[in-house]
Amino acid sequence: MYVPRIGSRREKLIEIVNKSGGITIERLIEKHGMLGATETWNLIRDLRKLAKLHCINQIGDVFFPIFKAKPTEIDDKVDLVPPRTAPPFKPLQTFPPTVSPRGQPIERRSFKTCKSNVRYQSKNDI
């Protein structure tokens, strides 16, 4: 949705239309003046532009505010999301399989027999 710059004429126009509940150009000029515009056409152009950008509604020559539904109030006391806690510890109940799903035996390799660049020092090395 379009949001005009703070302090601009368009922001003042939206505020006036929202407070009035519905206003014509003539009534706007009588009540609030020209709002810095040199001609009436400048105000009409700005109001029609705001209506085109869905900031206000225009029905005939009258400009109405667009009321949106109020946001629902959320009760802060209710926990919407439960806190994250660690699951309880369960010791391993099974041993790793010794046979693969294809029926091939799974080798038991330790770290020192793997082909890696990590040097392993045994008790016989000095």
pTM over cut 0.85: no
What does the pLDDT average to over 66-76?
Answer: 65
Q: Could you give the CA distance from residue 66 to residue 86 in angstroms, rounded to a whole number?
A: 49
CATH fold for the domain made of 9-65: Arc Repressor Mutant, subunit A (1.10.10)
Residue 117 CB: number of other CB atoms within 10 A? 4
Q: What does the radius of gyration of the chain's CA atoms come to, in whole angstroms?
A: 37
Note the pLDDT of residue 126: 59
Partner residues linked to 64 by β-bridges: 57
CA-closest candidate to residue 13, choices 28, 31, 30: 28
Q: Per residue in 32-46, pLDDT tens?
A: 999 988 999 999 999
